[in-house]
Amino acid sequence: MRRVLFAGPGAPASHESTTPVTSFSIGDTDFLRDGEPHRVISGAIHYFRVHPDLWQDRIRKARLMGLNTIETYVAWNAHEPRRGEWDATGWNDLGRFLDLVHAEGMDAIVRPGPYICAEWHNGGLPVWLTGGEHALRSSKPSFLADVSDYLRRVYEIVSPRQIDSGGPVVLVQIENEYGAYGADKAYLEELVRVTREAGITVPLTTVDQPTHQMLADGSLPSLHKTGSFGSRSLERLATLREHQPTGPLMCSEFWDGWFDWWGGVHHTTDVEAAASELDALLAAGASVNIYMFHGGTNFGLTNGANDKGRYLPLVTSYDYDAPLDEAGNPTAKFHAFREVISRYAPVPAEVPAPASPAPELTVPLRRAGTWTDAAATGEPGERPRTFDELGHLSALVRYDVDLPDSAGGLLIVDEVRDLAWVSVDGQHVGTLARTRHNRAIALPAGRVLSILVEDQGRVNYDHRLGEEKGLIGVPRLDGAPLTGWRSTPLDVAAIAASEVFGTAENGPSAWTAEFDLDSPADLFLDTSAWTKGYAFVNGFFLGRYWRNGPQRTLCVPAPATRQGTNEIVVLELAHLLEPIAAFVSAPALGATEE
- Alpha helices for 244-348 (secondary structure H): 271-283, 332-341
Q: Is the dihedral of CA 426, 430, 434, 437 positive or negative?
A: negative
**Residues belonging to the chain:** 594
Residue 247 CA, chain-centre distance (Å), reads: 32
344 Cβ contact list (under 8 Å, min separation 6): 39, 41, 282, 283
| CB 195 within 8 Å of CB 151 | yes
How far is residue 100 from each of residues 77, 177, 332, 342, measured CA to CA in Å? Answer: 23, 28, 26, 24
Identify whether 253 is a catalytic site residue: yes
In a 3-state reduction of DSSP, which class is residue 488?
Answer: strand
CB 107 within 8 A of CB 117: no
Nearest one of 230, 223, 228 to 244, comparing CA atoms: 223
362 phi, psi to nearest 5 deg? -135, 135
The H-assigned helical ranges of 260-326 are 271-283
Which amino acid is present at 181?
Y
Q: Quick one: which of 115, 160, 167, 165 has its CA closest to 136?
A: 115
Whether residue 581 contacts residue 570, with contact meaning beta carbons closer than 8 Å, is answered with yes
Question: What is the rounded (10 degree) CA torsion for 480, 486, 487, 488?
Answer: -150
* Catalytic-role residue among 71, 80, 119, 253: 253
DSSP state of 502: B
Say which of 177, 326, 454, 572 is annotated catalytic: 177
Of 143, 173, 144, nearest to 158 by C-alpha is 173
Q: In what order do the strands lie in the sheet with 486-490?
A: 427-433, 419-424, 448-454, 396-402, 486-490
Q: Is 177 annotated in the active site?
A: yes
The answer to whether 328 and 318 are in contact (CB under 8 A) is no
DSSP secondary structure, 332-380, as one string:
HHHHHHHHHHTTTS---S--PPPP-PPP-EEEEPEEEEESS-PPP-S--
The C-alpha atoms of residue 367 and residue 136 are separated, in whole angstroms, by 45
Catalytic residues: 177, 253
